[in-house]
Amino acid sequence: MPTSRASLPAAIAVAFLVLFAGLAIRKWTGGAFAKYAGVALYASLIYTLVIAIAPRLSPWRAAAIALGFCWAIEFGQLSSIPASLARRSMLARLVLGTTFNVPDLFWYAVGIAPMAVADGGLRARALHRRN
């Protein structure tokens, strides 16, 4: 994960890879695996976007922001707004979802945690190389 604006292309590349993986899993698999893998990868994508926007955030702060965003989206599904928007736009459906699902709250954390750990490891490695 990037630690400066110079690494923005890397963050964007990772975001596209995560997005592609999520869409591929949803297309070529099914059932609970597809649903929860998609939820976890959505959260991974949000983490990557947070780092792309604010590369100097610590991994754990970025993880907290990404998780808060994902949870806000999920709790927003308790209203009728996301479902209404989803009926009009596939993009809204992909970004906002339609139905609140308690297990999604856990799977967001599952998607974010490995990204934050990898980000922290890459940053430590880069710092070690500089010293």
Q: What is the pLDDT of residues 66-101, one digit of tens each?
A: 999 999 999 999 999 998 998 999 888 888 988 999
pLDDT digits (tens, 9 = 90+) for 11-23: 888 889 998 998 8
pLDDT on residue 129: 81
Task: Supply the pLDDT for residue 117.
Answer: 96
Residue 106 lies in domain: 5-130
Any idea which residue has 């994960």 for tokens?
1
7 vs 43 pLDDT, higher one: 43
Are the CB atoms for 3 and 126 separated by under 8 Å? Answer: yes
Using alpha carbons, select from 56, 66, 54 the residue that is nearest to residue 110: 66
User: Alpha helices of the chain — where are they, by DSSP H?
Assistant: 8-28, 31-53, 59-76, 81-88, 90-96, 102-130
Closest CA to 49 of 15, 98, 92: 15
The whole-model pTM stands at: 0.87
User: What is the total count of domains within the chain?
Assistant: 1
Q: What is the pLDDT of residue 27?
A: 87
Burial of 18 (C-beta count, 10 Å sphere; 0-12/13-18/19+): buried
* Res 2: pLDDT: 46
Closest CA to 119 of 71, 62, 72: 62
Radius of gyration over alpha carbons of the chain, in Å?
15
Share of the chain above pLDDT 90, in %: 65
- State the chain's mean pLDDT as an integer: 90
Q: Hey, how many other C-beta atoms are within 10 angstroms of the C-beta on 108?
A: 25
